[in-house]
């Protein structure tokens, strides 16, 4: 079993700095003392454990926690940052792709989530370019979630091929 020294060390150091800065009212960034910061600290700890401790299975949760924490910090501060469900899916896709670089697993999941994120983030533009199909936008709005459910169900019941 791999040692958890990176994760434990980074979490303790990160939380220590968090509480010291909060206790002495040192404001580096506005809204620093909120729960998204704690997500970032834990996510960074997972990333250090993944890359530094060669425990590559924790890269995915590290990217997800760090990404979600950054999203909640940036969503109201940067005008270009999208406040959209597709952003979360994009962060998950990035996690799978980064984990794949070290483990060789999860590339299909990463590409599938990336495709889903692009579909969600650019849904209106994609919908506008599909006018030649003669399908109403309302019908497409109903079909997309059903497609997600079918693909997800397939993932759950399909057996891995060797």
pLDDT single digits (tens) 78-104: 889 899 999 999 999 999 999 999 999
**139 is a domain residue:** yes
What does the pLDDT read at residue 132?
A: 73
Any residues with CB less than 8 A from the CB of 58 and at least 6 apart, and which? Answer: 7, 46, 47, 49, 50
Domain shared by 92 and 156, yes or no: no
Which of 105, 117, 8, 90 lies closest to 53 in space, CA to CA?
Answer: 8
Quote the distance between the C-alpha of residue 112 and its chain's center.
Answer: 14
Each residue's pLDDT tens digit, 124-141: 787 777 777 777 777 777
What does the pLDDT read at residue 70?
A: 95
**117 is a domain residue:** yes
What does the pLDDT read at residue 162?
A: 52
Token code pair at residue 44: 């960074």
CB 110 within 8 A of CB 138: no
Residue 63, helix vs strand vs coil: helix
Each residue's pLDDT tens digit, 56-65: 999 999 999 9
What does the pLDDT read at residue 37?
A: 94
What does the pLDDT read at residue 161?
A: 61
What does the pLDDT read at residue 28?
A: 81
Domain shared by 32 and 109, yes or no: yes
Domain shared by 84 and 40, yes or no: yes
Token code pair at residue 110: 């990463």
**85 is a domain residue:** yes
Range of the domain at 148: 132-162
Token code pair at residue 77: 């501060």
Q: For the chain, how many structural domains are there in total?
A: 2
What does the pLDDT read at residue 124?
A: 79
1 — pLDDT class (breaks 50, 70, 90): very low
Question: From CA 53, how far away is CA 6, in angstroms rounded?
Answer: 6
131 HSE (CA, 13 A, CB side): 4
Q: What is the mean pLDDT of residues 106-132?
A: 87
Domain shared by 113 and 44, yes or no: yes
């Amino acid at each position: 079993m791999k040692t958890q020294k990176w994760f434990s060390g980074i979490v303790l150091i990160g939380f220590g700095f968090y509480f010291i800065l909060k206790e002495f009212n040192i404001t580096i960034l506005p809204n620093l003392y909120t729960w998204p910061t704690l997500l970032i600290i834990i996510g960074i700890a997972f990333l250090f454990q993944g890359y530094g401790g060669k425990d590559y299975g924790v890269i995915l949760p590290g990217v997800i926690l760090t990404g979600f924490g950054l999203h909640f910090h940036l969503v109201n501060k940067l005008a270009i940052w999208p406040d959209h469900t597709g952003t979360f899916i994009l962060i998950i896709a990035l996690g799978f792709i980064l984990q794949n670089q070290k483990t060789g697993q999860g590339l299909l999941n990463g590409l599938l989530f990336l495709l889903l994120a692009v579909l969600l983030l650019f849904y209106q533009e994609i919908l506008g370019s599909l006018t030649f199909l003669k399908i109403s936008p309302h019908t497409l709005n109903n079909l997309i979630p059903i497609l997600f459910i079918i693909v997800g169900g397939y993932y759950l019941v399909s057996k891995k091929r060797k």
